[in-house]
């Protein structure tokens, strides 16, 4: 029996900066998961992934990531994706430094 398809987003890393990016419905890359296009059809998801992988001058490592619908848009269903969207794990570095004071 085939497994039911779960909602997904196309994610990758920006080629120059290395930031985690998500493919939007407008065919642009966003750094905020809330702006990602949620794909609910397996054929559409595979096609969008192929389109993303062809953009090697913009991104690297494109793949489909499972998401669920949340109050503010898509949310990751796996801890790896939640960790990736928060940025580097070093304190005072990248996205995690926002709002922190360096005492």
Q: Is residue 49 part of a domain?
A: yes
Q: Is residue 38 part of a domain?
A: yes
**Of the candidates 95, 23, 16, 92, the residue with the CA atom closest to the CA atom of residue 52:** 23
Range of the structural domain that residue 40 is part of: 8-89
Predicted model pTM? 0.81
The order of strands in the sheet holding 29-30 is 29-30, 20-23, 8-14, 59-70, 73-76
Interval 18-71: pLDDT, tens: 899 999 999 999 999 999 999 999 999 999 999 999 999 999 999 999 999 999
Q: Is residue 97 part of a domain?
A: no
């Amino acid at each position: 029996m085939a497994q039911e398809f779960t909602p997904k987003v196309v994610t990758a890393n920006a080629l120059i900066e290395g930031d985690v990016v998500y493919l939007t419905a407008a065919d642009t890359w966003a750094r905020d998961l809330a702006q990602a296009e949620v794909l609910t059809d397996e054929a559409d998801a595979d096609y969008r992934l192929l389109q993303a992988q062809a953009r090697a001058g913009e991104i690297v490592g494109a793949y489909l990531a499972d998401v669920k619908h949340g109050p503010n848009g898509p949310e990751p269903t796996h801890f790896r994706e939640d960790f990736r969207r928060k940025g580097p794990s070093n304190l005072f570095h990248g996205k995690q430094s926002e709002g922190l004071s360096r005492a």
